[in-house]
Amino acid sequence: MFSKSARLVKQVKVSLPVTPMASRRFLQTAPKFMGAASIRNSRLIAPRSLQLIRFQSQTVKVPDMAESITEGTLSQFLKKVGDYVAADEVVATIETDKIDVEVNSPVAGTITELLAAEQDTVEVGQELFKIEPGAKPEGAAAEAPKAEEPAEKKTEEEAAPAPAAEKKDEPPAAAWAPHPKTAEPAAPAPKETPKQTKEETAAPKAGTFSRNEERIKMNRMRLRIAERLKESQDTNASLTTFNEVDMTSLMEMRKLYKDEFLEKTGIKFGFMGAFSRAAALAAKDIPSVNAAIENNDTIVYRDYMDISIAVATPKGLVTPVVRNVESLSVLDIEKEISNLGKKARDGKLTLEDMAGGTFTISNGGVFGSLYGTPIINIPQTAVLGLHGVKQRPVVVAGGKIEARPMMYLALTYDHRMMDGREGVIFLKTIKELIEDPRKMLLM
């Protein structure tokens, strides 16, 4: 008689080919479910098949990504069927129009089935893969190298066949081959020679031009950027005003304190902290630059300033947000910008890092830009564009002409929210604060 546990096992049994490893695993795990005596007395282990307990596979679905994101593109599976994964290990990545979402395994186990293909569009809640919970198979790490050895040997044999093997193959070929006189015209070599000559003739010579084309599907982030930029052009009454700033004082200040700042924090002293601080101070006099239009008939004014910093990544432009800039020092802003920039380049930005933002600063100068008109990041009202620092002749006090490090500034703003006077005053205030950074301590 089977015990109650043994009967349960018998009901869910699955026949699999017997292997030494499977036998060991069964004998190690079976006592947990049924007594040793029941195993000996039962007929679960057959001569050529093994009755094993198969744990029920667990289906992993596409996780919730954000309130505004309902679908994404399955970028890649990091694991394949048969791979063992630990709990919380990344199995797949999903690309959305804002960030890349990692899908982790909820339990430790073996991947049994992939329910989607790479580059498929997947929705939140859709079944993604199946995993069978369980411990890591014993000897799995040791078996992998053994499986690779025959493949390597096979590759070597294919690359350099043994002479003995060639001799063995010759007699069967001679048994059915036609007379040598008739075989010579039908030999494959003469047929290949004209073909090879034709290919060599058609091959491009030195000095010719290529006319190749390559089409690649736009990733979701690039598509979303394109949509938002076009929406910004269609929605805002954009107007751009320009000014130029003498960077001498700020560059001297950075030269004096950059080593000390780097030693204490491990972060380089750049320009973004000073410009962010200057923008926050200038916004106190021009609050509309930090405001927004809501429902086409309401203006929202804010007593805080969250600045979106434009960061270029391989997949597109992202704008992580430095929050409450009005309450931070120049060095605190530099620290936060450095941390967000590193996360952006490593692809570790979260939706919380990019949510919100009341004003944007875009620094094209790091790429050598001399001049440009930035586009407003809706639903914001304005964007400040920084450009490259170039030595230009400038008329200084006393009518002298000197070479000074100059930068062009560009402020694009929504004319529905701001008049030209406000835009010019805001940009001029930033210019004055940068040209004499000590003023920032007095405001």
Question: With contact defined as beta carbons under 8 Å apart, do 331 and 261 qualify?
Answer: yes
Where do we find the tokens 């025959």?
A: 150
CA dist 342 to 327, 339, 397, 404, 419, Å?
A: 23, 5, 42, 32, 37
By DSSP bridging, strand 307-309 and strand 359-363 are: parallel
What does the DSSP assignment read for 51-73?
Answer: EEEPPPPEEEEPPP-BTTB-EEE
Question: With contact defined as beta carbons under 8 Å apart, do 386 and 271 qualify?
Answer: yes
Residues 6 or more apart whose CB falls under 8 angstroms from that of 140 comprise 84
By DSSP bridging, strand 359-363 and strand 321-322 are: unpaired
Task: Please report the sign of the dihedral spanned by the C-alpha atoms of residue 35, residue 41, residue 47, residue 51.
Answer: negative
**CA nearest to 238, candidates 386, 412, 360, 372:** 412
Asked about 415 being catalytic, the answer comes back as: yes
Query: Helical H runs in 286-409?
Result: 330-345, 351-354
Residues 6 or more apart whose CB falls under 8 angstroms from that of 73 comprise 94, 95, 96, 119, 120, 121, 122, 219, 220
Task: Please report the sign of the dihedral spanned by the C-alpha atoms of residue 61, residue 65, residue 71, residue 76.
Answer: negative
Residues 6 or more apart whose CB falls under 8 angstroms from that of 403 comprise 391, 392, 393, 394
- How many angstroms separate the CA atoms of 164 and 162, rounded? 5
Query: Contacts from 64-69 at CB under 8 Å and sequence distance 24+?
Result: 64/124, 65/94, 65/96, 65/101, 65/124, 65/351, 66/96, 66/98, 66/351, 69/96, 69/97, 69/98, 69/124, 69/351
Please tell me what DSSP assigns to residue 301. -
Which residue among the candidates 64, 88, 419, 436 is catalytic per the annotation? 419
Asked about 297 being catalytic, the answer comes back as: no
Where do we find the tokens 């960061």?
A: 311
By DSSP bridging, strand 13-17 and strand 49-53 are: antiparallel
**Which residues are the active-site residues?**
415, 419
